[in-house]
Amino acid sequence: MRLGVLDVGSNTVHLLVVDAHHGAHPWPAHSEKVVLRLAEQIGPDGALTRAGADALVEAVGMARQAAVGLATDDLIAFATSAVRDATNGAEVLARVRDETGVRLEVLAGADEARLTFLAVRRWFGWSAGRLLVLDIGGGSLEVAAGIDEDPDVAVSLPLGAGRLTRERLGVDPTTATPPPAEVVEDLREYVDQTLDPVVEQMTGVGWDRPVVTSKTFRTLARLAGAAPSSAGLWAPRRLTRTGLRQVLTFIRHIPPVQLAELEGVSAGRSHQLLAGAVVAEAVLRRLDVEALDVCPWALREGVILRRLDQLGPV
């Protein structure tokens, strides 16, 4: 069957269409995305701005038309932290439904972590043992660990790269100078404080294989020397704590407009990279992780796999 997954994230609205059936590898048939950076369009009152809501409605409508044109049998649509945390989230969801016909399911942060964990477990298999899975999105950081397909621990923290860029660093894609050192240090202290409950919760859980997903971690791994996307989906990629520290030391002195010129860095997210690197360094340091594998599957694939499990064998 042909499944469409519409992911309204904190940075992009991403439509992924796959041909799949129960027990088989989901093969991508089509992928398209629009960069909206919703996490940066939350006003001082905590509401998604009118411009942000307008852009979201337009992007969802276009994605639905594309899904219909590609003859999808089912369209699974969901939203994550930007819409979940917006004070006017219910109104925005109602408008999307009324104007596009698409009902967006809002995923809780812990469910994001669980579905991402499922995707990583299926990718690496049971031989990976106990997994630790880290995912930095635009609005939140997800952490999960366990031995089964459903993790023993799954938590979400408001440490997304887009959120912290807006709330703590105050930079945008056109910023010509890097943030002052004291601002970056304040961000590091805030991240460490926010991580305290997770560090306590993870104590004693244990893991055999730490893994990262998400665009932020993939970009940081690429800057640290991992294989480029042109090497293909199956190329093994790793990120070490030493490499990450070197990348963080390097990029904290570079303006966002120049970061966008580096190979592997998306122009639409270059200004978020520093905040993402600060979070990545902190979580690896606090959890005492020296090296991680990079998994190409993440939340969207987890949603697909869960739906196929629900359908069962044909």
DSSP per residue over 247-285, as a string?
A: HHHHHTTS-HHHHTTSTT--TTTGGGHHHHHHHHHHHHH
Rounded to whole angstroms, the Cα distance separating 60 from 101 reads 9
> pLDDT per residue over 212-243, tens digit each?
999 999 999 999 999 999 999 999 999 999 99
- What pLDDT is recorded for position 293? 98
pLDDT tens digits for range 274-289: 999 999 999 999 999 9
Contact status, residue 274 vs residue 253, Cβ threshold 8 Å? no
pTM (predicted TM-score): 0.95
Please report, rounded to a whole number, the percentage of residues in the chain having pLDDT higher than 90.
Answer: 86
Task: Look at 27 and 111; give whichever has higher pLDDT.
Answer: 111
pLDDT of 314 > 60? The answer is no
Note whether 40 and 12 are within 8 A (CB). Answer: no
Checking if the pLDDT of 148 tops 80, the result is yes
Summarize pLDDT for 58-84 with one digit per residue, the tens: 999 999 999 999 999 999 999 999 999
Helices (H), the chain: 50-69, 81-85, 89-100, 109-124, 161-164, 181-202, 215-223, 241-251, 256-259, 273-286, 299-311
How much is the pLDDT for 313? 66
CA distance 122 to 272: 29
From the list 298, 135, 81, 283, the residue with the least C-alpha distance to 201 is 283
Cα-flanking dihedrals φ and ψ of residue 281, to 5°? -60, -40
3-state helix, strand, coil in the chain (%, to 5): 45, 20, 35
Q: What is the pLDDT of residue 176?
A: 77
Q: 81-110 pLDDT, tens per residue?
A: 999 999 999 999 999 999 999 999 999 999
Rounded mean pLDDT of 111-120? Answer: 98
pLDDT digits (tens, 9 = 90+) for 15-51: 999 998 888 888 899 999 999 999 889 988 999 999 9
Of 195, 165, 156, nearest in space to 270 by CA: 165
pLDDT tens digits for range 171-189: 888 877 899 999 999 999 9
- The per-residue pLDDT of the chain, averaged, comes to 95
Q: Determine the pLDDT at residue 171.
A: 85
